[in-house]
Amino acid sequence: MRAFLLLLLLQASQALPAHGVAGGAQPVVSPRGDLLAFLSDRDGMEDVYVVSTRGHGEKRLTHTPEKETGLQWSADGKRILFSVTVGDGSRLFEVDPGGAAPHELGRFPGRTPMLSPDGKRVVFMAGTWTATRLTVSGLDGGEAREITDGSSIAWNVHWSPEGQRLAFTGRNDPSAELAVFVMGADGTERRQVTRVPPQEGGAQWPVWSPDGRLLAVQVNSRTTKGSAHLWIVDVASGAAKKLAPHAAAYLDETPAWFPDGKRLAFQSDRTGRLEVWTMRADGTGERQLTGR
């Protein structure tokens, strides 16, 4: 039992956003593809930054003692959204990429609220890390509805482009490896999408392609400490491809699509410190964007 609990805690820690020394982490690309928001603690506190997708004009947008998470762009590309955890709840904020002060959008009884593409709903995680209840509510917190029963995990949830489906990290069995699942935004038609070979590790952090046909995920190795790859998975068939295979112990994690579906942004410690990188969706053309 002790060994099982240790494994569960390890998997949970790998599914959490990266903290600690991070020059650039958890990137998200603007709908126009010209800007990229990310997290960094380079100035001592974890805050939100923005930079052009060419690596120019970097700007710090928040100056708070809290740890921000759940970065995303509004559908019109005019705002960057993020949340901070307060006790068992969260506060959702928006900030202008030009540098205006953040504005609070709402408060929710759970972690990491993610805004739907139409801007009218949020999905957030409640409960413990091992018994997570996903809840969908209005932006004002009204009409809240639990869409998972808390019998297992449900992490890293992301809305599909049309706002009708959700992808998240989960498992069917408490002893099973992490996998990516898809279901309707009402909790129906839940199914496992990834079938990654056991020797590769667990799939997590799913992010939808702009056309909703593919998911980019990260797979953390269980055999090589400190190693992770990005994979592309076909939502309909489950066919999967590993991007930029490497034998070295470094992390490629937290993918984010460019709006044309041809490139990905991601965090990697290839050069010894987590920074933001980009690559083509076929795994070629890796380029470091921050911390150069």
User: What would the two tokens of residue 252 be?
Assistant: 């490629």
Q: How many CB atoms lie within 10 A of CB 35?
A: 19
Residue type, 212: G
pLDDT at residue 262, rounded to an integer: 98
Q: Are 252 and 263 in contact (CB under 8 A)?
A: no
pLDDT in tens, the chain (292 residues): 344 333 444 444 444 444 345 899 999 999 999 999 999 998 888 999 999 999 999 999 999 889 999 999 999 999 999 999 988 899 999 999 998 999 999 999 999 999 999 999 999 999 988 899 999 999 999 999 999 999 999 999 999 999 999 999 999 888 889 999 999 999 999 999 999 998 899 999 999 999 999 999 999 998 899 999 999 999 999 999 999 999 999 999 999 999 999 999 999 999 999 999 999 999 999 999 999 8
100-120 b/e with 16+ CB inside 10 Å = b?
eebeebbebebbbbbbbeeee
pLDDT at residue 21, rounded to an integer: 53
What is the set of domains in the chain, with CATH numbers?
A: 2-288 (2.120.10.30)
